Amino acid sequence: MGADRWDGLIVGPTLVTLADDTGYGLVADGALGWRDGVLTYVGPASGLPAPPETLAHEVTDAGGCITPGLVDCHTHLVFAGNRAGEFEQRLQGASYEEIARSGGGILSSVRAVREADEDVLLAQSLPRARALVADGVSTLEIKSGYGLDLDNERKMLRVARRLGEALGISVRTTYLAAHALPPEYAGRADAYIDATIEWLPQLHAEGLVDAVDAFAERIGFDATQTRRLFASARALGLPVKLHADQLSDGDGAALVAEFGGLSADHVEHTSEAGVAAMAAAGTVAVLLPGAFHVLRETRLPPLDAFRAAGVPMAVATDCNPGTSPLLSLRQAMQLACTHFRLTPEEALRGATVNAARALGLDDRGRLRAGLRADFVHWDVREPAELCYWLGGRLARAVHAGGRPVATRTDDPAPALEAVP
C-alpha cells in the first residue's frame, strides 16, 4: 500500500462503538484503523481487507476496550485560586445562595481571575485540563464568566484556546459573561446585559466564541435579560445554551428551547412543559452530578420524563472552583449512575454521543469509519467498569484526531487485574 497505508491500527481489543442509538455496539476481537485524523476501519479483526502489517505504518496488538473519546461538554475550567473555604462553610450549614449574597461564590473567583495575568491563568488551568485528558477526554468545552468585563472575559477565552493548542485536543469556547452581576454594575443588571451584548461581537470577531451561555436563576439573570442576550447571539449565528432550572423552576429549559438551544444544563427543577419544549427543539439535557453531589442536593432531574420524551441526556463534570471541583469525567459518569440511576451505557453515551451533540458536533462521539479518530484505549474487560471503579486511572492511551494526547506508562491501578 505504501503511502496509502493507515497511520495506525490496533488489533484485538473489544470495540465499544455506540454505533446505534441503543446498546454498546460491542465488537469482540476488533480492529481500529485511522489515517489523517479520521477513522478508516472499525470492525472485527477478521474482516480486515489485508494482513495488518500491510495496512498501517504502526500496528499494535492489544486487549482491553476502546471507546470513543470522552467529551466534557460543560466546564468552567479556566479560573484562578480555589474556593475550598466555601466548601467548609457549606459543611457548617451555609447555603450556596447565602455564600453568593455575602460576596463569595462566583464573585470571589471573579476577583482572583481579574488579579491573574493570562500566563498565570494558563499555568493554573493547564494541570486541570491535563487531568481530564489523562482520564479520557479528547474534546473539552470551557466557559468564560469569571471575568465579567471585556478584557477579562477575553483573557479567559484566550486561555481556553491556548489550552487546546497546548494539549492537542478540541476546545469549544462558550461566552458566559452573563454568569453573575459584577460589583461595578450592582443594582444595574439591565445595563450589564447591555454591556455583555456590546462585547459579544468583538470577541466573536476575534475567533474566541463558539457558543453563548447564561445563568438564568433567581441569583442570576431573568428571562427577559437572557432573551435579549440570546437574540444577539443568534443574530451573529452563534448557538446558545443555558444554566437552567438548577435552584428553582424558572422555565429556563423552555426558554433555551425557544431559541433552538444546544443544551439546557443542570435541569434539576425542569417542569414537564420544559421537557416537552426541549424534546420539540432537539435540546440536550446536560446532567451535572458533580455539583449535585458537592451541594448535597436532593431534587433529581426529571430523568424518566427525559427518557419518555426522547430528550438526549449528556453527562459533564461542570469542573469549577465552587460547586464541582471535579477533575474526572469518568467519575462524573459514576456519580450519574449512583445519584441519578443512569445505567453505565447511558452514562457512557452521555459522555460521548450526547455530549458531542450538546456542543453541536456530529463528527465524533461514536466509533465509525469517517468520523474523527478520537478514541480511548482502556484497561478494562467490559465498558461497565468505566462507571464501576471509583478513581484510579484506567486509560491506557487517549487519541485526539489520531494523535496520542495522553499515554500511561506506569502499571494499571492496583485494584485492577492486568488486561491482556
- State how far the Cα of 389 lies from the Cα of 401, in Å rounded to an integer: 27
With residue 33 as reference, give the H or E element that holds it: strand 30-35
pLDDT at 218: 75
Lowest mean pLDDT among 76-85, 93-102, 324-333, 356-365: 93-102
pLDDT band at residue 2 under the 50/70/90 scheme = low
State yes or no: 320 annotated in a binding site: yes
Taking only the tens place, the pLDDT of each residue in 146-160 is 999 999 999 999 999
pLDDT at 419: 45
State yes or no: 322 annotated in a binding site: yes
According to DSSP, the β-strands at 26-27 and 14-16 are: antiparallel
Q: Which of 144, 176, 140 is nearest to 355 (CA)?
A: 140
The answer to whether 198 and 226 are in contact (CB under 8 A) is no
Residues 6+ apart with CB under 8 A from 262: 211, 239, 240, 241, 283, 284, 357, 358, 359, 360
pLDDT at 416: 47
Taking only the tens place, the pLDDT of each residue in 102-146 is 778 888 999 999 999 999 999 999 999 999 999 999 999 999 999
User: For residues 415 and 231, which has the higher predicted lDDT (pLDDT)?
Assistant: 231
Apex 304 CA angle, 298 and 310, nearest 5:
135
- The answer to whether residue 235 scores a pLDDT higher than 80 is yes
Q: Which of 61, 140, 18, 63 is nearest to 405 (CA)?
A: 140
User: For residues 100 and 332, which has the higher predicted lDDT (pLDDT)?
Assistant: 332
Buried b (16+ CB within 10 A) or exposed e, 76-108: bbbbbeebeebeebbeeeeebeebbeeebbbbb
pLDDT at 410: 64
Q: How many other CB atoms are there within 10 angstroms of residue 416's CB atom? A: 16
- State how far the Cα of 357 lies from the Cα of 282, in Å rounded to an integer: 10
Mean pLDDT of 261-276: 97
**CA distances to 98, 275, 290 from 304, in Å:** 32, 10, 20
- The answer to whether residue 377 scores a pLDDT higher than 90 is yes
**Single-letter residue type at 63:** G
- State how far the Cα of 327 lies from the Cα of 132, in Å rounded to an integer: 6
Lowest mean pLDDT among 101-115, 186-200, 237-251, 264-278: 101-115
State yes or no: 243 annotated in a binding site: yes
State yes or no: 146 annotated in a binding site: yes
The answer to whether 357 and 21 are in contact (CB under 8 A) is no
- State how far the Cα of 38 lies from the Cα of 372, in Å rounded to an integer: 5
- State how far the Cα of 117 lies from the Cα of 119, in Å rounded to an integer: 6
State yes or no: 269 annotated in a binding site: no
pLDDT at 181: 94
- State how far the Cα of 209 lies from the Cα of 176, in Å rounded to an integer: 10
- The answer to whether residue 101 scores a pLDDT higher than 80 is no
Mean pLDDT of 18-46: 97
- The answer to whether residue 163 scores a pLDDT higher than 80 is yes
Sheet with 65-68: list strands edge to edge: 26-27, 14-16, 65-68, 375-378, 395-400, 403-407
Task: Work out whether the CA dihedral 157, 161, 164, 166 comes out positive or negative.
Answer: negative
Domains of the chain listed by start with CATH number: 6-68+366-407 (2.30.40.10), 70-358 (3.20.20.140)
Packing angle of the helix pair 189-205, 223-235 (nearest 10 deg): 20
Backbone angles phi, psi at 240, to 5 degrees: -125, 160
Task: Work out whether the CA dihedral 162, 167, 171, 175 comes out positive or negative.
Answer: negative
According to DSSP, the β-strands at 6-11 and 30-35 are: antiparallel
Q: pTM for this structure?
A: 0.95
State yes or no: 352 annotated in a binding site: no
- The answer to whether residue 420 scores a pLDDT higher than 60 is no
Strands of 144-269 (E only): list them: 170-178, 211-216, 241-244, 263-266
User: For residues 344 and 98, which has the higher predicted lDDT (pLDDT)?
Assistant: 344
3-state class (DSSP) for residue 212:
strand
3-state class (DSSP) for residue 39:
strand
Strands of 149-210 (E only): list them: 170-178
pLDDT band at residue 415 under the 50/70/90 scheme = very low
The answer to whether 144 and 153 are in contact (CB under 8 A) is yes
Percent of the chain with pLDDT over 70: 97
Mean pLDDT of 21-27: 96
**What is the grid cell recorded at 4?**
496509502
According to DSSP, the β-strands at 56-61 and 395-400 are: unpaired
State yes or no: 192 annotated in a binding site: no
- The answer to whether residue 85 scores a pLDDT higher than 60 is yes
